[in-house]
Structure 1
Amino acid sequence: MLRKLSFAILATSAAALAAPVAAETLKVGVSAEPYPPFYAPDASGEWKGWEIDFMNELCARIEAECIVTPVAWEGIIPALNSEKIDMIIGSMSITPARAEQINFSDKYYDTPTALVMAKGSKFENSPEGLKGAYIGAQSGSIQQVYAEKYFAETASEIRFYQTLDEELQDLAAGRIDVVIGDSLAMEPFITSDEGKACCEFKGAVAADQDVLGYGVGVGMRKEDTELLAKVNAAIAEIRTDGTYEKISADYFTFDIYGE
């Protein structure tokens, strides 16, 4: 009986060693509001976009099964720290204020913040040039912080919106004069028929890295140092082996990594 039991234990142990190790499951937070071309749900509810493709590649390299988890943008850092999600891969800029609350990976893209105005607008891209303007900014964004810091004293009002799309629609309807936002995220609207008819870029805002950050990174909890090391290694591989350019070619005609 003991011999048979030993054989059974050995057989069970061998089977366990032969079984594939299950991939770690991670919930990846993105803003609940669509943010094309980076991420947006399609007609079936599946999330698509450049950042989703990047996320899938990164997760494969760290051997994790990642689940896209939409979260209201203003609550996305609290959701991370309360373990409702495990990472943020949602175009979150690396800023000193955010870095006090969470860890960031190395950057994986960087595009400038810019202003969009109605064609023929009397307003200019400077604090003095926006005197009397009604400005739209997304609530909880770095653009909100920038607008409050540089434009609050001269603008008539800074209005806060849940989504970039709402801001741009109000701009097209003449309800506001200026939208401040990520230049790449606003490009699909500006190049659309509606955008071409009404509006135009008025250039990038003056640099302020303390507010606008040091590029976009993956957000993680402070204690997840092992995950941080894996993510940084994966980003470096994606950047150096040609995968980054391959993913980006489906969406952009230029390098969005920045300097």
Structure 2
Amino acid sequence: MRRRRYTSDLTRQQFKRIEALLPACKAGGRPRKVEMYEVVCAILYVLQNGCTWRNLPHDFPAWQTVYGYFRRFQRDGTWEAVNRFLLRRTRKKAGRNPEPSAGILDAQTVRCTPQAGLRGVDAGKKTNGRKRHIVVDTLGLLLVVFVTAGSVQDRVGAPILLGSLAKRFPQLRYIWADGGYSGELVAWAKQVLSWVVEIVKGVAGQRGFVVLPRRWVVERTLAWFTRSRRLTRDYEGLPETTEAWFYLANIRLMLRRLEPAP
């Protein structure tokens, strides 16, 4: 008997887009008995609803199995690889060059739950938690994410993030960022990466929220992702786990663009 569909589920057509990208069974191991479609839907259920693994509905595979696949694909880089693959397909469908040449950089600080590990106080936001440093393309699609303690300044985390970005997207040449990244980062990016980092400054006398050129794109992406309850706070013991959830949130977003649900 087939289970009833959850709103977090992928359609079968959406799953076909990534099925071949998921690693096969280990050589010499037991045949895989679980259906990978159900495993991926269960992982997205946790992402969307923010529940603990042990509280997965019983019509999904056993939570230990689902969690095991999530961790395995996190450690071997599968989620990030699927994100890069779909990114190129989504950009091509939107009439863009599959390889991005420009991006927008920003960071978001969120509170940690009591069990989360690494943390620090963001003095500017007066928040004790973690900071998510991200770069998105001009469509708002996630290119790369790097999670640190909240006490790490934006301009300190940015060189690590941009260095990782340069390896994955060699055609990138231009980055927009806010005033928190001004100073040495601009010169470093020019000298080391041959990139232009343009600082988008706020409007003089600005009070309250104002939509700023280019910066609104990355802020919109962060808003998209925090609609997933697993990302409203940081529940994870390891920063790498939070990064995996970011890639999964972006994967789901791109699949819905590539294969809209009927």
| Superposition TM-score tier, normalisation by shorter sequence | under 0.3
User: Which TM-score applies when normalising by structure 1?
Assistant: 0.24
User: Which TM-score applies when normalising by structure 2?
Assistant: 0.24
More helix by share: 2
More strand by share: 1
Q: Which has the higher contact order (CA 8 A, sep 6+)?
A: 1
